[in-house]
């Protein structure tokens, strides 16, 4: 196998390792590392590392500790550039140098200002051979971290379930659009996100739970945000009643929340208004500052339209169902045949009678 193909395969193996801790490493990205010795071009893995739960120790440190002396002369495969800044522990680039690694292959540069090429430079200065791949699949996996570091806001996924006649539901009442399989995929997406946002219209119409209810993943429900300029959330709503179990925040221009809501544990994110609506860029900046790297926007129609119009959607999860809602339905701001050109289709899945098409902004 040519060396560059082998490098790609080993980086893909690192990526599969990293996925095991995705969503569990706090504000740090989940990175995968393999330390590999070669016996006549046959790779022998001597150390494996994933960013630990909570974000520390980093993947490189874990792999070096596993490899021990076998790290000397090895090639390190890492999905993200090793860090270069000192904290309580030395930076990972230094740890790789100290471990005697001969070659490092990375799949993406870390845009964190404290790193951003400095990790790579440290390795080169130490005489280590360095190969930098730019793997699109790694960029996708790290998109939450990369978006927060590069744009100071969370990566936004807009999820919509659209009927065969291009509708999202009926204003003011809950109308199921997709089937059980599609809904379980949505629950899995929720488990992978830091937060979910909906508008006050969806809250009033659907009284949703917005939790992950897949067996075994119940503890992975993300934080819930409601765009609610007037703080009109009913204390009897499911979100309010379960705010002690799953953090629930109203994004509102109201200076204080009604006492009934604060007593239930609902918190407030202060928002600025723009044309009478919550200013989305400022809201996203505040969410990022509060540790949210990935946000799943689950509607409804007005909120989805605002995110699209502000060019604040990074990926689009479009569920299309054979259900027909009819004239009274709320038109979806986007359907399969109106996806804006800047989105590229990444994957399509058949889910019973429904279909999921996943798009990423180019
Ligand atoms: N099929 C699906 O995927 C799906 C998903 C979710 C919902 N739905 C359906 O969609 C319907 C609700 O949609 P909707 O359009 O009526 O309500 P919505 O989009 O859920 O909420 C709209 C409300 O959010 C508040 N808001 C605050 N800032 C905003 C901003 N920047 N942009 C837009 N809205 C902002 C406004 O209320 P304030 O003025 O009070 O702040 C606005 O009236 C329901 O029927 C629900 O079943 C369908």
CATH of the domain at 354: 3.40.430.10
Same domain, 134 and 148: no
Q: Whose C-alpha lies nearest to ligand 1, atom 17?
A: 201
Most informative mutation of 164, 227, 287 for ligand 1 (most atoms within 8 A of CB) = 227
Hey, which residues are catalytic here?
60
359 vs 348: CA distance, rounded Å: 9
Q: Is 186 helix (H, G, I), strand (E, B) or coil?
A: helix
- Paired tokens of 147: 């978006």
Same domain, 302 and 190: yes
Q: What is the largest CA-CA distance in the chain?
A: 70
How does pLDDT run across 101-113, given as a tens digit for each residue? 999 999 999 999 9
**Cα–ligand 1 centroid distance for 158 (angstroms):** 13
Count of Cβ atoms closer than 10 Å to residue 265 Cβ:
15
What does the mean pLDDT of the chain come to?
Answer: 96
Task: At 46, give phi and psi (nearest 5°).
Answer: -110, -10
Same domain, 131 and 163: no
Same domain, 284 and 310: yes
Domain at 109, CATH number: 3.40.140.10
Is the pTM above the cut of 0.85? Answer: yes
Q: Whose C-alpha lies nearest to ligand 1, atom 46?
A: 202
* Listed residues 123, 141, 159: the one ending a domain: 141
* Listed residues 120, 141, 162: the one ending a domain: 141
**Cα–ligand 1 centroid distance for 199 (angstroms):** 4
How does pLDDT run across 277-326, given as a tens digit for each residue? 999 999 999 999 998 999 999 989 999 999 999 999 999 999 999 999 99
Query: Can you give the pLDDT at residue 87?
Result: 79
Same domain, 71 and 23: yes
229 vs 254: CA distance, rounded Å: 7
Most informative mutation of 160, 167, 202 for ligand 1 (most atoms within 8 A of CB) = 202
Query: Can you give the pLDDT at residue 89?
Result: 79
If one counts the domains in the chain, the total is 2
Ligand 1 pocket at CB < 6 A: 160-161, 168-171, 174, 177, 198-202, 205-206, 227-230, 232, 277-278, 280, 298-303, 306, 330
Question: Would you place residue 185 in the very low, low, confident or very high pLDDT band (cuts 50, 70, 90)?
Answer: very high
How does pLDDT run across 113-150, given as a tens digit for each residue? 999 999 999 999 999 999 999 899 999 999 999 999 99
Q: Whose C-alpha lies nearest to ligand 1, atom 33?
A: 303
1 vs 30: CA distance, rounded Å: 29
Query: Can you give the pLDDT at residue 221?
Result: 95
Spell 139-160 as b/e; 16+ CB within 10 A means b. Answer: eebbbbbbbbbebebbbbbbbb
Structural domain span for residue 255:
144-361
Q: Which of 119, 139, 157, 129 has its CA nearest to residue 15?
A: 139
Q: Provide mean pLDDT across the span 341-347.
A: 96
Question: Would you place residue 2 in the very low, low, confident or very high pLDDT band (cuts 50, 70, 90)?
Answer: confident
């Amino acid at each position: 196998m040519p060396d560059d193909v082998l490098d790609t395969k080993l980086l893909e193996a690192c990526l599969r390792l990293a996925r095991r801790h995705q969503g569990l490493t706090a504000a740090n990205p989940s990175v995968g590392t393999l330390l590999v010795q070669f016996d006549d071009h046959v790779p022998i893995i001597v150390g494996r590392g994933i960013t630990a739960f909570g974000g520390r120790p980093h993947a490189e440190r874990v792999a070096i500790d596993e490899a021990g002396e076998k790290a000397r002369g090895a090639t390190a495969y890492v999905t993200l550039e090793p860090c270069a800044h000192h904290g309580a522990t030395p930076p990972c680039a230094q740890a790789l140098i100290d471990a005697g690694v001969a070659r490092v292959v990375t799949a993406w540069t870390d845009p964190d200002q404290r790193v951003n090429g400095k990790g790579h430079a440290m390795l080169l200065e130490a005489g280590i051979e360095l190969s930098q791949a730019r793997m699109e699949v790694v960029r996708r996996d790290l998109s939450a971290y990369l978006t927060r570091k590069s744009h100071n806001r969370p990566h936004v996924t807009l999820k919509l379930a659209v009927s065969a006649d291009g509708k999202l539901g009926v204003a003011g009442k809950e109308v199921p659009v997709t089937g059980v399989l599609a809904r379980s995929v949505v629950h899995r997406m929720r488990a992978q996100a830091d937060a979910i946002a909906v508008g006050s219209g969806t809250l009033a119409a659907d009284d949703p739970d917005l939790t992950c209810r897949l067996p075994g993943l119940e503890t992975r429900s993300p934080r819930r945000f409601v765009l609610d300029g007037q703080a009109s959330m009913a204390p009897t709503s499911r979100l309010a009643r379960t705010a002690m179990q799953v953090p629930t925040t109203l994004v509102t221009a109201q200076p204080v929340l009604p006492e009934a809501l604060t007593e239930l544990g609902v918190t407030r994110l202060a928002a600025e208004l723009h044309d009478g609506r919550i200013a989305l860029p400022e809201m996203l900046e505040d969410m990022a500052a509060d540790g949210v790297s990935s946000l799943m926007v689950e509607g409804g129609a007005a909120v989805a339209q605002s995110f699209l119009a502000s060019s604040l959607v990074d990926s689009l999860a479009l569920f299309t169902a054979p259900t027909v809602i009819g004239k009274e339905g709320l038109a979806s701001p986007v359907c399969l045949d109106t996806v804006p050109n800047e989105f590229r289709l990444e994957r399509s899945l058949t889910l019973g009678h429904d279909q999921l098409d996943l798009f990423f902004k180019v």
